[in-house]
Structure 1
């Protein structure tokens, strides 16, 4: 069962058939992510084939991990299957 953990707290957990694996990153459906740990971010980045990524920061027990979560709210056609799915980096432990 894919799980994302940071600062000792499970941030996301989903069944294998619910996640998407793209470029070795696990993309979790929004329903599997604990929204109470997400904080809005103004940060964006662009992928040539997925499009414009938006970000969240994580906040757990007063600690903040800036821009540790990304997602594609309006992906390009080839990445349509990961629309709004969330992926993690910057020290977030993702187990498949």
Structure 2
């Protein structure tokens, strides 16, 4: 699977986990050179999500990536993984 933003592959892996229709990529698949800091946080049944923004070819997508550093037990399968908001294309 590939995550593509602004024409650039920002993550790629054959090892994704699907939860609630979202592909969670291993953190190691994320190309960190395209990420930037975000203060955004959100909570749900999985735990507290933290976010990163994407900056690709001069285009910023705030809060484009989320991850759960300490997911609840029911969401343990997403630990060490990242997912992407709408506007980041997920393809095979």
Instruction: Specify the TM-score bucket, using the shorter chain as the normaliser.
Output: over 0.9
1:9 aligns with 2:8: yes
Bigger proportion of residues as strand: 2
Q: How does 1:74-93 map to 2 (within 5 A)?
A: 74-93=70-89
Secondary structure of 1:4's counterpart equals strand
5+ residue gaps, structure 2: none
1:26 aligns with 2:23: yes
After TM superposition, give the deviation of residue 81 of structure 1 in Å: 1.3
- Between the two proteins, the alignment pairs up a number of residues equal to 92
More displaced stretch, 81-90 vs 60-69: 81-90
TM-score with structure 2 setting the length: 0.95
Runs of at least 4 residues off by over 4 Å: none
Q: For residues 62-96 of structure 1, what are the alpha-carbon distances to aligned partners after superposition, in whole Å with 9 as ceiling and x for unaligned? A: 11000010000000001111113110013100124
5+ residue gaps, structure 1: none
**What do you get for the CA RMSD once the two structures are aligned?**
0.9
